[in-house]
Chain A
Amino acid sequence: MSPVVHALVIGIPLVTFLMGGAAVATWWERRFAGRMQTRFGPNRVGPAGLLQPVADALKMMQKEDIVPRDADRTLFNLAPLFPPFLVIASAAVIPFAATVGTDGAFEATGAVAALDIGILWVMSLAGLMVFPVWIAGWAANNKYTLLSGMRMVAQGISYEIPMIMTAMVPVIFAGSLSLSDIVAYQDANGWNALSLSPSALVGAVAALVFFLASLAEANRIPFDIPEAESELIAGVMVEYTGIKFGIFMLAEYLHTIVASALTAVLFFGGPSGPGPEFLGIAWMLGKTGALFVLIYWIRWSLYRLRSDQLMDLCWRVLVPLSLFLVMAAAVLVAGGFA
């Protein structure tokens, strides 16, 4: 199959799945939050409110487009293009299926592009996420968006460090930057975060730190300082109307899905699991879904941290801890324990 056809044949279903998943997630999150707070959540549009995402999308599409007089028009209109672009693009390297070769060798497949530097690809795109948010925050010429953009940059660059460092732990174990190799290693030696080998001890803590850093990168409570609706209205999205606002919201849901999938691949074996190979996709979806539910469970259970607490947690606890984890993983590998 030519690479272009390959990218389209796998890429279009993947994009459809991500978009559909994000749409369903908006409905599901509100239902879920409703249950947690003894209320109903959306239940009027369609059976059990299932058509709510469609109604929301239509509403946002047909809203009037307002650009504030004092805003920087070009940048203001340009910024919404990038968050969904970066998030979807980073999903390109995630393997979501399993194949077993004739020689019985496990292989994680199904990625749009099985790049041999898969993890660098994801981390690079994640690192670029601060730019569109900062552009949006500055271009609107609004004090709330400016503050939100500032916080976003501070939080984004700070939490990038523990995220990269803990992503290094599976890399050290597998000896490869390719996500397929990392999954294959876990299929042979047990999941990085959950197995009987001593490496799982390091892997489990690394998974926790990586998960927290992902929450911070995706602006989820307890790390949603940039949005902080009780103090900053809606963060960088204050001045956006209609579909541009919707695109930012969509990007957040996409980001959460991709972050869950990435955690599942790096620490919980991704598409690897007991059963025949066609169950690989089911395993991947199940693990991603479980982590996704966990993120929203946390979101509707906890308070948001204060800005300074957020930075303190990162620089005083997570950064040295992740460095320690990297060295512990290295000791295990060099000592022959993993």
Chain B
Amino acid sequence: MLLACATAFAIAEESARFWTCSILSPGIVFAIRKEAVIQEQWLSALVFLGLALAVPMSMLVGAWVVRVRAKTNVAAKYDTYECGEEPDGSAWVRFHPRYYIVALVFVLFDVEAAFLFPWALTLRELGTLALVEMFVFVGVLLIGWGYALRKGALSWQ
């Protein structure tokens, strides 16, 4: 989910860069060309998103055209399925999701992944220093993981 936000941000950033680049520095032809290539890829991706959405849409529309419609109805047909019994109350009740703390730990690790990606890209240039720093970072995180484990936060109750 966080990564989805990060990607949305990256898309926004790409287009912002493209437009500033084309407006502010029309002289730098190469830079614009490079940005334009990136822009083209994103446009392709956007068109493909439309194509991907067209698949389930067309299936739903196709089914709407050809499917049968009941001429007579019985009320029981629209009952909620509960193994053939009369449904016992609504399913929209207070419900213990059992993974509240797991979700918190997930957010921690997801944020960490967001930090790891730029680090992974530049590791070759930055060398040992970046490696040591990430060892410290991951080490701290692992201590937290161990604490959560000891506290039983990660076991399904």
A residues whose Cβ falls under 8 Å from a Cβ of B: 3-4, 6-8, 11-12, 15, 19, 60-71, 80-86, 88-89, 92-93, 112-117, 120-121, 123-125, 127-128, 130, 138, 140-146, 150, 153-154, 157-158, 160-161, 164-165, 168, 171-172, 175-177, 233, 238-239, 242-244, 246-247, 250, 307-308, 311-312, 315-316, 319-320, 323, 326-327, 330-331, 333-334
Contacts and interface: CB of A to CB of B under 8 A. Distances in A.
Interface string B73-111: 001011111110001001110010111001101100110
A121 B78 contact: no
Interface of B: 1-4, 6-7, 10, 38, 40-49, 51-53, 55-57, 59-60, 62-64, 66-70, 75, 77-83, 87, 90-92, 95, 97-99, 102-103, 105-106, 109-110, 113, 116-117, 120-124, 127-128, 130-131, 134-135, 138, 141-142, 145, 149, 154-156
Contacts of B59: 61, 243, 246-247, 250
Contact of B90 (A141, A171, A175): A141
Given A4-B43, A120-B10, A120-B117, A92 B149 contact: no
Given A84-B56, A164-B3, A69 B67 contact: no
Main secondary structure of the interface of A (DSSP, over half): helix
Contacts of B67: 61-65, 242-243
Main secondary structure of the interface of B (DSSP, over half): helix
Contacts of A320: 142, 145
B155 A308 contact: yes
Contact of A128 (B1, B10, B98, B156): B1
B2 to A, nearest CB: 8
Nearest to A69: B78
A336 B47 CA distance: 41
Contact of B106 (A64, A81, A142, A161): A161
Nearest to A19: B55
A246 B60 CA distance: 10
A113 B42 contact: yes
Contacts, number: 247
B109 A84 contact: no
B110 A160 contact: yes
A177 B92 CA distance: 42
Contact of A141 (B40, B49, B83, B92): B92
A230 to B, nearest CB: 13
Contacts of A154: 97-99, 102
Nearest to A172: B120
B135 to A, nearest CB: 7
Given A164-B3, A334-B131, 4 more contacts: A7-B44, A69-B75, A128-B4, A154-B97
A161 B110 contact: yes
Given A68-B78, A115-B42, A63 B123 contact: no
Contact of B62 (A7, A61, A127): A61
A3 B43 CA distance: 6
Contacts of A128: 1, 4
A66 B78 contact: yes
A140 B130 CA distance: 49
Contacts of A177: 117, 121
A308 B156 contact: yes
Contacts of A61: 59, 62-63, 66-67
B56 A239 contact: no
A116 B60 contact: no
A42 to B, nearest CB: 22
A312 B102 CA distance: 11
Nearest to B65: A61
Contact of A142 (B49, B69, B80, B109): B80
B50 to A, nearest CB: 9
Top 9 closest pairs, chain A to chain B, by CB: A308-B156, A243-B63, A7-B47, A113-B45, A88-B52, A7-B44, A3-B43, A113-B44, A69-B78
B131 A84 contact: no
